Structure 1
Amino acid sequence: MKRRDFLSLAGTLAAVGLFPSMVAQAGSSIANMLRRRVRTGNAAWPSPQDWNTLRGAVGGHLVKVKSPLEQGVQKADASLIEDLKNPYYIRDQAGLTQTLGWADAWRCEPSVYAVACESTSDVVAAVDFARKHQLRLVVKGGGHSYQGTSNAPDSLLIWTRNMEKVVIHDAFVGAGCAGKQAPVPAATIDAGAIWMHVYDAVTTKAGRYVQGGGCATVGVAGLIQSGGFGSHSKRYGLAAASLIEAEVVTADGKVLMVNACSHPELFWALKGGGGGSLGVVTKVTLRTHDLPSTFGVAIMQIKAASDASYRRLIARFISFYAESLFNPHWGEQVIFKTDNALAIEMSFQGLDKQQANAVWQPFLDWLAQSPTEYQLTAAPIIAGIPARMLWDPKVLKTIPGAVKMDGRPGAPEENIFWSGGEKEAGKFISGYQSAWVPASLLQADQQARLVEALFASTRHWEMALHCNKGLAGAPDEARQAAKDTAINPLVLDAFALAICAGEQLRVHAGMPGHRPDLERARADANAINDAMEALMTAIPQRGSYVSESNYFERNWQQAFWGQNYLRLLAVKRKYDPEGLFFVHHGVGSEEWSSDGFVRAPMS
């Protein structure tokens, strides 16, 4: 990424509606701010005595970070590659992130030191130290950032891995909100917790539902700050919309309890404004919901015999979705493949198996009418499970192929992950793009445009529609709650998020014998771009989801947040005026070089 000067910043902000007087005011405040952060080797880098002082302040929890990737030549290749298939192994390494890099964008590189935080006071000490010594600061919980925001060389890492407590409340009211809010069932969750453990605590043990992520090893705090979608968001809405309260350490080292009654603008910004830009979230309290009777899946794959048959298959599925699946019961994804195959990997809630089967029967009957044109290459599986069992480790381990386990000696029994999650562990991204797909394209007179665009996209790369990541078709209360978050409002009128992506697994520049094939990655990235451009011929307004987006997105402010960006920028100015917190394409990052070390010149 090239550095952008202040004039380009002003132009970008003007494009999303910032008045010239506000631009001038912002420029005036920038003039007196920190201009450059300190790197290792610089005379101002903290001395050993300084680091020892920090070590004492955090109770000895300061870690000198090493990356297993850079030490790969000293370790058997097969052993390291197996480790990198395990998201729990990666989670336990201060020097690793779940994604190992992105072609021509970034690669996983360790911080110099990490504070392995066990309390909010540890976070405060790390923030104060970084501010005092003008250090690049990185925050990592689950470490699932595709954009590389959970790592940076020459930095101090705030690592919340050990902060994972979950507390269940029967009736919770935010601090200072007594008499203003009705008590609601809730769960208070520390920032380093991951969703598999949270679901086990809230659903298996407490019999409630909390809206979190579909990928079970994603960190809680990061997902909430991005907006957050799970398999059942079509029913329960954004994860961020369930936020009642958050504990936050701000750039000045203060600990704030943030909710609708205290610091309401910061509270709003944390709900979808992106992680790592506004402060360090140390715990969140989320509303919990009554469990439905059943969670379930509908899985199948159909192969079309010709291009013409494939077009008809796409058209039939889109009309079937609009008629039967465009409602709060159904989520997850359908994948339109380049070999004229359609993969259906959908979830449901609130239906029993008989009801779910009845929904799909008309589509299956249609396929059966043309046996020479359509072959079920993966037989339909439509199955449900009592809702309380969905994340029960004891139950999941009995279902063949459902989950994989953390096989390290002494690993906790609850350390399991969905089998498909192995593709998330140790992923190196070739290209990744997403776009909100408006529900208007499901109207009968518009479906042909969507069908043709989907077919055209598959001539380049496969295209997935994540139907749970769009709030058109969700209940009114879920849509209304999402309006009070910072996410791009396009999500309200989208029935799905289209995702087009490619990766290589378990490769890194620091691993001899397992380095990425950059020539192939660049070719794949070009094909992904062509596929997305083909789809965009049917989509009138471009918008994207910040956590699943293109690293090279040029108009990222508008794409990720739309009309909400100016309000987010105002919150950033108030709570982090000197820009201590920086992430790639985060709020206010226009003011810095692409690596976050040098403030962009004003002219």
Structure 2
Amino acid sequence: MRRRDLLKAALAAPILPLALSSNTKMRFEQSLLKPRVRPRDTDWPEPAHWEELKAQVGGRLIVPQSPFAQGGAATAQALKYIHNPYYVGDEPGLTQTSGWFGAWTSQPSRYAVVAEGAGDMVAAVNFARKHRLRLVVKGGGHSYQGTSDAPDSLLVWTRRMRGIQHHSAFVGQGCEGHVEPRPAVTLGAGCLWMDAYEAVTTLGGRYVQGGGCPTVGVAGLVQSGGFGHYSKTFGSAASNLLEAEVVTADGQICIANACSHPDLFWGLKGGGGGSLGIVTRVTLRTFELPNFFGGVGGEIRAPSDGAYRELIARFFTFYQSQLFNPHWGEHITLRSDNVLSLTMMFQGLDASTVEHIWAPFLEWVRTNKSYRFDSDVSVLTLPAQHLWDGAYFQKHFPGHVRFDDRPGAPASNMLWDGEQNEVGRFIHGYRSAWLPAALLQPDRRDSLIDTLFDASRSRSIELYFGKGLAGGPSDALLRTRDTAMNPQVLDAFALAILGADADHPAYPGMPGGSIDTEKARRDIHDLDQAMNAIYRLVPDAGSYFSESDYFLRDWQSRFWGTNYPRLAAIKQRYDPFGLFVIHHGVGSEAWRDDGFTPVAGARQTL
């Protein structure tokens, strides 16, 4: 769908709820055209106003600072723990990504409400609306697009909202007698997926579908769609949302589920966090655990370009016949140095079955003497209940996990080895595209192989199989179809991801945090070359909201496809004042990238 068509559909939606008076409409039209205020503006709240807000939130109004701006002991501590995602997440003045070349850098908000409940969020929303402030929400702080902070803004920081409640038979508010009770878990807006996995799986013996990275925030991932190791089996995180409590732009606390505010409920399922309201808690369905979780990892090197293309072709023949099913997820990497890197995950299979499945492919590699294993392909299998059990891994598989190394940190604060290198990443460029399952068919497979090989000459490509739901069970597909995500995810066998980062974090003021401009530009050129090859094969490929190009021009159709007009109408109903603005979020056409300045004529499009 072209952007013009999307905006026409959005224009057809009502600009304001019917309940608003004509005087309120006039104030809205006037205020919409005014920029958000900054500290230098005369309309900036007086100190007495901030004191009133502080009293309303129990004294929990702070001035967040980057430790690199404080110097001394604060900077020394930051340098010591800068690759620890739990430390970075506990700092209200930092974000998990340090910036994006030519787009944004991590800078603290002017003030932050340290929210401990929905009432704190209501106070912050009312204050921001009254004083025309830029409002930002941060949970896990993992946004690549820089939506977790903004200079001169008021931040709602949800980190302390970590409550967890288990349900053996959950029925949403107002749904009594209309829906079947289901096992579920309610998670506060500040919960990380590590909190969820420890409570639900390690201690509870059940499964909740979340993200692969344990320090990503639960609420943000659900609102963005949300994929993990086993999404091919259990659907997206958004598809398993049963209920959410939300603070809307008018300062009201509402319950959104299939029976109460169903339009808002649908929009929260993949419509992008931070656009429709502030989620205070989510309730997600849980599942019975399979017997086993596990992975297959290793690296295979080809001696030449021709041999590498043959290796790719052989793998996809193998994938289509043996791995394109609900048991398998995670990813492979097609490296530009002719290496196929395997990081596959599986569920419900034991080690002997997995070894039997992979034997023909690995035998073919061994038979062709020109190939070599840079890292032996091995199988790791464990009881499913222990996948996020750090103590179990430390005992049985040392080296696969790391831990929060701060004094007094919870023993459950683990992360996968290698993820520490992603903390503080400064992005040069990032792209993603869903690849339709039709490309796996024999009559189109050669085109897929040629495209991936050609693209890999410019930049290594990661193919995440769990981020495309084709090949999954019908119930997971049905649930995901009833979300706001781009419907392409249902027909995709994988999400192709290409990215390039600096060699080190680059937080403003960080010692040694300089930006290599020439390298960034070379990386962007290579990414464009690789992505152009993919677009030649799939011109209208959708892109995943949370892992996408900051500068994507046709983002409405790429992110949400035919669902965007419906999302725009929901935005109009619940946030007619445009209080919630994030980069490339629903309704952000009305604002410039800084989120402070309205676009001229915005009333006509929104």
Q: TM-score normalised by the shorter chain: which range applies? A: over 0.9
CA distance 1:540–1:323, shift in 2 (3 Å): farther
Give the aligned partner of residue 172 of structure 1: 170
Assess if the C-alpha contact under 8 Å between 1:250 and 1:280 holds in 2: yes
Rounded to whole Å, the distance in 2 between the matches of 1:107 and 1:239 is: 29
CA distance, structure 1, for counterparts of residue 568 and residue 121 of structure 2: 24
Q: Is 1:584–2:583 an aligned residue pair?
A: yes
Alignment of 1:12-91 (within 5 A): 13-16=3-6, 18-19=8-9, 22=12, 31-34=29-32, 35-72=34-71, 74-75=72-73, 79-91=77-89
| Residue 394 in structure 1 maps to residue 391 in structure 2 | yes
Say which SS state the counterpart of residue 537 (structure 2) adopts. coil
CA contact (8 A) 1:272 1:485 kept: yes
Name the SS of the counterpart of 1:571 in structure 2: helix
Confirm or deny: 8 A CA contact 2:540 2:558 kept in the other structure: no
Q: Which residue of 2 aligns with 1:343?
A: 341
Match of 2:406, SS state, is coil
Gaps of 5+ in 2: 17-24
Q: Match of 1:459?
A: 457
Q: Deviations over 1:132-170 (max 9, x none)?
A: 111000000000000000010000000000001111110
The 5 A counterparts of 1:116-127 are: 116-127=114-125
2:10 and 2:569 in contact (8 A); partners too:
no
Change (3 A) 1:103 1:368: same
- 1:520 aligns to 2:503 (yes or no): no
| Other-structure match for 1:536 | 535
Deviations 1:207-231 (A, max 9, x none): 1100000011000000000000000
Farther-moved stretch of structure 1 (413-422 vs 52-61) = 413-422
Amino acid at match of 2:46: S
1:258 alignment partner, one of 256, 259, 268: 256
Q: Separation in 2 of the partners of 1:21 and 1:288?
A: 39
* Aligned positions of 1:22-421 closer than 5 A: 22=12, 31-34=29-32, 35-72=34-71, 74-75=72-73, 79-371=77-369, 373-398=370-395, 399-421=397-419
Q: Distance in 1 between the 2:363 and 2:91 partners?
A: 50
Q: CA deviation at 1:17?
A: 7.0
Bigger mean CA offset, 181-190 vs 412-421: 412-421
Question: Could you tell me whether the CA contact under 8 Å between 1:207 and 1:291 is conserved in 2?
Answer: yes
Please tell me the residue identity of whatever aligns with 1:324: Q
Indicate the SS of the match to 1:468. Answer: helix
Contact 2:542 2:559 (C-alpha < 8 Å) held by counterparts: yes
Whether contact under 8 Å (2:290, 2:348) holds in the other structure is yes
Matches of 1:583 and 1:95, distance apart in 2: 18
SS in structure 2 of the partner of residue 100 of structure 1: strand
Q: Is the 8 A contact 2:404 2:414 kept in 1?
A: yes
Asked whether the 8 Å contact 2:67–2:74 carries over to 1, the reply is no
Tell me, in whole angstroms, the C-alpha distance in 1 between the residues paired with 2:11 and 2:158.
Answer: 40
Following the alignment from structure 2 to structure 1, what is the Cα–Cα distance between the partners of residues 288 and 14? 50
Match of 1:6 in 2: none
TM-score, normalised by the number of residues in structure 2:
0.95
Q: Distance in 1 between matches of 2:478 and 2:575?
A: 29
Deviations 1:285-323 (A, max 9, x none): 000001000000000100000111001001001111101
8 A Cα contact 1:234 1:470, kept in partner: yes
Structure 1 segments unaligned to the other structure (5+ residues): 1-10
Q: Is the 8 A contact 1:227 1:271 kept in 2?
A: yes
Deviation of residue 244 (structure 1)?
0.4
Aligned to 2:429: 431
TM-superposed CA distance for 1:71, in Å, is 3.1
- Residue correspondence of structure 1 range 456-495 to structure 2 within 5 A: 456-495=454-493
- 2: CA distance between counterparts of 1:214 and 1:329? 16
Deviation at 1:68, TM superposition (A): 1.3
CA distance in 1, matches of 2:54, 2:223: 29
Task: Describe the superposition over 1:252-298 as per-residue Cα deviations: whole angstroms up to 9, x where unpaired.
Answer: 00000110000000000000000000000000000000100000000
Does the Cα contact within 8 Å between 2:15 and 2:576 map onto a contact in 1? Answer: no
Note if 1:575 corresponds to 2:565. Answer: no
Q: What is the identity, as a one-letter code, of the residue corresponding to 1:375?
A: R
Partner of 2:495: 497
Residue 440 to residue 547, structure 1, CA distance change in 2 (3 Å)? same
Provide the rounded CA distance (Å) in 2 between the counterparts of 1:285 and 1:25. Answer: 31
Find out whether 1:508 has 2:507 as its counterpart: yes
Moved more, 389-398 or 116-125: 389-398
SS of structure 1 residue aligned to 2:44: coil
- For 1:598, the equivalent position in structure 2 comes to 597
Listed one character per residue, the Cα deviations across residues 416-460 of structure 1 (whole Å, up to 9, x for unaligned) are 111121122111001100000010000011110011111111110
Q: 1:20 to 1:113 in 2, by over 3 A?
A: closer
Deviations, residues 347-404 of structure 1 (Å, cap 9, x unaligned):
0000000111111001001101111x21011001112100011111221222211111
1:3 is matched with none
Query: For 1:151, what is the secondary structure of its paired residue?
Result: coil
Task: Work out whether residues 165 and 185 of structure 2, in 8 Å CA contact, stay in contact via their aligned partners in 1.
Answer: yes
TM normalised by structure 1 equals: 0.95
The amino acid of 1:392's aligned partner reads D
Q: CA distance change for structure 1 residues 277 and 20 in 2, over 3 Å: closer, same or farther?
A: closer
Hey, what's the Cα distance between the residues in 2 that align with 1:533 and 1:510? 36
- Structure 1 distance, partners of 2:507, 2:94, is 11
Matched-pair contact (CA < 8 Å) for 1:509–1:516? no
| Distance change >3 Å, CA 84–CA 129, structure 1 → 2 | same
Whether the 8 Å contact between 1:14 and 1:20 is mirrored in structure 2 is no
Distance (Å, rounded) in 2 between the aligned partners of 1:512 and 1:230: 34
User: Any idea what SS the aligned residue of 2:228 has?
Assistant: coil
What is the one-letter code of the residue matched to 1:511? M
Shift of 1:99: 0.4
Task: Name which of structure 1's ranges 409-418 and 555-564 shifts more when overlaid on structure 2.
Answer: 409-418
> CA 1:401 to 1:135, structure 2 compared with 1: closer, same or farther past 3 Å?
same
| RMSD (Å) for aligned C-alpha atoms | 1.7
Q: 1:20 & 1:384 partners in 2: Cα distance? A: 49
Residues 14 and 569, structure 2, Cα contact 8 Å, conserved in 1: no
Match of 1:558 in 2: 557
Q: Aligned partners of 2:76, 2:49: CA distance in 1, in Å?
A: 40
What is the alpha-carbon distance in structure 1 between the residues aligned to residue 127 and residue 7 of structure 2?
Answer: 37
- Do the aligned residues in 1 keep the contact of 2:68 with 2:75 (CA within 8 Å)? no
- Tell me which amino acid in the other structure corresponds to 2:134: R
- Partners of 2:74 and 2:204 in 1: CA distance: 43
Q: What one-letter code is carried by the residue in structure 2 that aligns with 1:439? A: A
Partner SS for 1:397 = helix
Q: Please tell me the residue identity of whatever aligns with 1:100.
A: S
1:449 aligns with 2:439: no
Q: Distance in 2 between matches of 1:466 and 1:33?
A: 44
> Deviation of residue 25 (structure 1)?
6.2
- Residue aligning to 1:4: none
